[in-house]
Structure 1
Amino acid sequence: MTSRLPDDFFFGAALSGPQTEGCWKKTGKLESVWDHWSQQDIDAFYNKVGSYVGNDMGNQYRGDYKIFHDLGLTSARTSMQWTRLIDQTGALNREGADFYHEMLAAAKEEGVDLFMNLYHFDMPYYMLERGGWEKRETVEAFAGYARTAFREFGQEVRCWFTFNEPIVEPENSYTEGNWIPFVHDFKRAVTVQYHIALAHALAVREFRLAQKEGLVRSDAKIGLINCFAPPYTKEDPSAADLEAVRMTDGLHNRWWLDLAADGTLPQDVIDTLAARDAAVPARPGDDELLSFGKVDWLGFNYYQPVRVQAPEADADEWGNPVFARPYIWPERRMNESRGWEIYPQGIYDFGMKIKREHPDLEFFISENGMGVEGEDAFRDESGVIQDDYRIDFVRDHLAWVAKAIEDGAKCVGYHYWAVIDNWSWNNAFKNRYGFVGVDLMHGYQRYYKKSAEWLRRVATTRVVE
């Protein structure tokens, strides 16, 4: 089946500073939580590949932007690293600023509009030692970092974002305890989630102030990026199953969607949290601060749906409240490498949810991709990785994006994660996502996979077949 996307629909690359830049001890960069963890316990990372090098984009960005241009990509979203731009006193680090000025200039030379996100799970370690997102001090420090970034790069960056996937840290670091600081405490996770929401709102306020003062481009806009996952349950759900859907959707999706669209948090979720001894640490005046969180557009990361049903117990082994448990859909299709369900229709379903609940909110698919382990097994005799599975994955998702646009969703573009293979947290390079591969044994050299030529055709014609 052939689909056609609008002529003004843009294609680009999704990436992040901590996963690509490397150069971890250059330009006066401070230690992030990932740098610290890599030094303390390198065995926690796949094949002992820590945070230090990323995919070496900090040294290879000129060539990488040429690759984006060659593939017909007109934009790329990355992130500045707080640890590189700001010193420990909260002042601008000139070496780090110059690093980003040079990257932005190189992207512009290749016709790539570099979208800039401010935070991608890369807390400065010294801030974590002070309490991290559990402390209001960090919220204020982030606002100061955002203020500096807007003023330093206001005439170079058109599209800004405050956070990427702000739901991930509360879950991975404070509920599931998988990431530093390895906590299993839902009440603390709620505090972290609430403070990130405040930090987002204060950063947007700083952007509006810079906008009013003429310190950012006249066409500049700001957004929020989250990994939204449409929730599903059984075909004949009980009231308890539907309650599981409500809270899962509320904490993971509506929390960030309502904040971005209206500058509010869902009151029903706030009330339920209070009733379960996990109240948000609100202070007088916070509602006014949160009201600044309304954005110009939204980044919608989509990888998989979430399927839930009523929990079997009210609390887990650490005493944390449980609102849902997984529901295994009998017809599900899996990416076995990641353990994620492949469900392209979810990108349509959530796009239509945005249309219904926030009809004026423009969005783009800010991440979507397929990570596969052991891709060398798919090399042909000429050495090219025959990743037809990746072509099928993206084709199927883009077909549903095209349908969502036909049905009135304001989806304006698509960024693939990650066009070039990159480092991915504990998994390092275990799962490869790129249309372009990275040879770790030969200086992080880049090479095209079969899917790269397919991407070029789609990006330059807007025809998906």
Structure 2
Amino acid sequence: MERKIPKNFFIGAAMSGPQTEGAWKTGGRLESIWDTWSQERISDFYNKVGSYVGNNFYEKYEEDIRLMKSLGLDSFRTSMQWSRLMDQNEKMNPEGAEFYHKVIRCAEEEKIELFMNLYHFDMPTYLFKKGGWENREVVEAYVNYARTAFREFGKEIRYWFTFNEPIVEPDQRYRNGFWYPFLKDAKRGMQVQYHISLAHALAVREFRKAKEEGLMREDAKIGLINCFAPPYTKENPTPEDLEALRMEDGINNRWWLDLVAEGHLPEDVLKTLSECGLMPETRPGDEEVLKEGIVDWLGFNYYHPSRIQAPAEKTDENGYPKFSDPYVWPEAKMNVWRGWEIYPKGIYDFGMKMKNEYPNLKFFVSENGMGVEHEDRFRNEAGEIQDDYRIEFVSEHLDWIFKSIEDGAQCLGYHYWGLIDNWSWNNAFKNRYGMVEVDLMGNYQRKLKKSAGWIKQLIAEREKN
């Protein structure tokens, strides 16, 4: 099938500050929750590689941006680190600000559009010790950070995002207890999710204020990025399976979509949470705050679908209600290295959901990628990793994106995660996602994989049409 890239469809790269920058004690940067975990329990990290590593973007940002340009990419998204931009007195750290100014200038010189996200799971430790997202004071500290960023960089950056994957921290750190400090408390998880929602809305309000005051670019836009994994259940579902689908879709997807498209949280979800004792604490005036959360556009991270069924048990180990259990689809094609299902059609199904249920909200695919362990085994005699599996993965997903656009989805572009191998939380460098290899034992040298040449050719072919 001939692949036609739609006109004005952008293709770029996705990354984040805490996963790339490194330099964790440089330039006045504060300790983050990942640094704390790394120092207290380094054995929890693959090969004992903690948060201090990144891929040395702090020193190699010019090289990396030029590399993106050489491949034909027109844009990339990263994130400021709260711990680098702000000091412990909640004032701007000049050294941190200067680093981001330099990154922005370099991107502008190379004619690469920079998308800037404000939060990627990397809270400063001193704020986490105050209760993190459970504490409204921390919400206000985030709003102050967002306000500072908008006013410092508002004339330089066009595209802003409040959060990346705001559903992940409530899940990983609170409900499932996979991340430090290993809590398993569904009630606290819902409170965190609610407070992040308020923080998002308040940050959007600060963005609008700064724009009204002439402190932002006139064409500046604000958005939110989330991993809206399309949910599926059994082919012949029971009423209980459908109820599981409703709540999982409600908490993970509709919660954020209703917030950013309509300025409220889904009523049916709140009703169920209230009935089962999981309703977060609210305050008078919160509904008015949430109305501020409507965005200009949306980032959609997609790696795999969510397949669920009715839970085998009604409650978890703490006595809180369980809404679903995983469901293994018999026909699933798996990324055997990462343990995730590969289902490119999910990206199309999300596009149709947006078309039908949120028709006024444009979006782009803000992350999509394939992580593979021990890629050295695929290195040829010339030393280049032959990642044909990654080329196939991206090709199939792009085809479904373009089909969704043909069928009416307002999808504006695609960012591959992560173009350059990066540190990935407590998995560290276990699974490599890059089209560009990072040699950890060779001064973080960048080496192109086969997929880098493929994406360059794909973009070059577009330019000819």
TM-score class, shorter-chain normalisation, is: over 0.9
The answer as to 2:352 corresponding to 1:352 is: yes
Tell me the CA shift for residue 2 of structure 1: 2.1
> Normalising by structure 1, what TM-score?
0.99
Aligned to 1:125: 125
Tell me the CA shift for residue 320 of structure 1: 2.4
Aligned to 2:309: 309
Tell me the CA shift for residue 236 of structure 1: 1.0
Whole-angstrom distance in 2 between the partners of 1:88 and 1:433: 34
Per mean C-alpha deviation after superposition, the further-off stretch among 106-115 and 8-17 is 106-115
Tell me the CA shift for residue 182 of structure 1: 1.1
Tell me the CA shift for residue 246 of structure 1: 0.2
Q: Map of 1:215-230 to 2, 5 A cutoff?
A: 215-230=215-230
Aligned to 1:54: 54
Q: Map of 1:13-412 to 2, 5 A cutoff?
A: 13-412=13-412
**1:228 is matched by which residue type in structure 2?**
F
Tell me the CA shift for residue 319 of structure 1: 1.8
Q: Alignment partner of 2:35: what SS?
A: helix
User: In structure 2, do the counterparts of structure 1 residues 462 and 269 end up closer, same or farther at CA, with 3 Å as the change threshold?
Assistant: farther
Tell me the CA shift for residue 263 of structure 1: 1.1
Aligned to 1:446: 446
Q: Alignment partner of 2:401: what SS?
A: helix
**2:108 is matched by which residue type in structure 1?**
K
* Residue-by-residue CA offset, 1:290-324 (whole Å, 9 max, x unaligned): 00000000000000001111111111222221001
Tell me the CA shift for residue 461 of structure 1: 3.0
Q: Alignment partner of 2:352: what SS?
A: helix
Whole-angstrom distance in 1 between the partners of 2:48 and 2:327: 34
Tell me the CA shift for residue 190 of structure 1: 0.2
Tell me the CA shift for residue 168 of structure 1: 0.3
> Normalising by structure 2, what TM-score?
0.99
Tell me the CA shift for residue 113 of structure 1: 1.1
Whole-angstrom distance in 2 between the partners of 1:384 and 1:91: 46
Whole-angstrom distance in 2 between the partners of 1:2 and 1:375: 30
Tell me the CA shift for residue 174 of structure 1: 0.3
Tell me the CA shift for residue 443 of structure 1: 0.4
Aligned length: 464
Whole-angstrom distance in 2 between the partners of 1:125 and 1:180: 11
Q: Alignment partner of 2:179: what SS?
A: coil
* Residue-by-residue CA offset, 1:144-199 (whole Å, 9 max, x unaligned): 10000000000111000000000000000001111122110000000000000000
**Amino-acid identity (%):** 64
* Residue-by-residue CA offset, 1:25-82 (whole Å, 9 max, x unaligned): 1110000000111111111111111111200010000000011001111110000000
Q: Alignment partner of 2:178: what SS?
A: coil
Q: Alignment partner of 2:273: what SS?
A: helix
The answer as to 2:429 corresponding to 1:424 is: no
Whole-angstrom distance in 1 between the partners of 2:3 and 2:198: 40
Tell me the CA shift for residue 210 of structure 1: 0.3
Whole-angstrom distance in 2 between the partners of 1:31 and 1:136: 21
* Residue-by-residue CA offset, 1:366-398 (whole Å, 9 max, x unaligned): 000000001000001111111000000000000
* Residue-by-residue CA offset, 1:219-239 (whole Å, 9 max, x unaligned): 100000000111111111111
Whole-angstrom distance in 2 between the partners of 1:455 and 1:334: 23
Q: Alignment partner of 2:6: what SS?
A: coil
Per mean C-alpha deviation after superposition, the further-off stretch among 274-283 and 167-176 is 274-283
Whole-angstrom distance in 2 between the partners of 1:367 and 1:428: 18
Q: Alignment partner of 2:252: what SS?
A: helix
Whole-angstrom distance in 1 between the partners of 2:275 and 2:71: 52
Whole-angstrom distance in 1 between the partners of 2:70 and 2:366: 20
**1:455 is matched by which residue type in structure 2?**
I
**1:246 is matched by which residue type in structure 2?**
R
Q: Alignment partner of 2:104: what SS?
A: helix
* Residue-by-residue CA offset, 1:6-38 (whole Å, 9 max, x unaligned): 120001100000000011111100000001111
Q: Alignment partner of 2:447: what SS?
A: strand
Unpaired runs of 5+ residues, structure 1, are none
Aligned to 1:2: 2
Q: Alignment partner of 2:181: what SS?
A: coil
Whole-angstrom distance in 1 between the partners of 2:459 and 2:9: 9
Tell me the CA shift for residue 451 of structure 1: 0.6
Q: Alignment partner of 1:415: what SS?
A: strand
Q: Alignment partner of 1:223: what SS?
A: strand
Alpha-carbon RMSD: 1.0
Q: Alignment partner of 2:148: what SS?
A: helix
**1:196 is matched by which residue type in structure 2?**
I
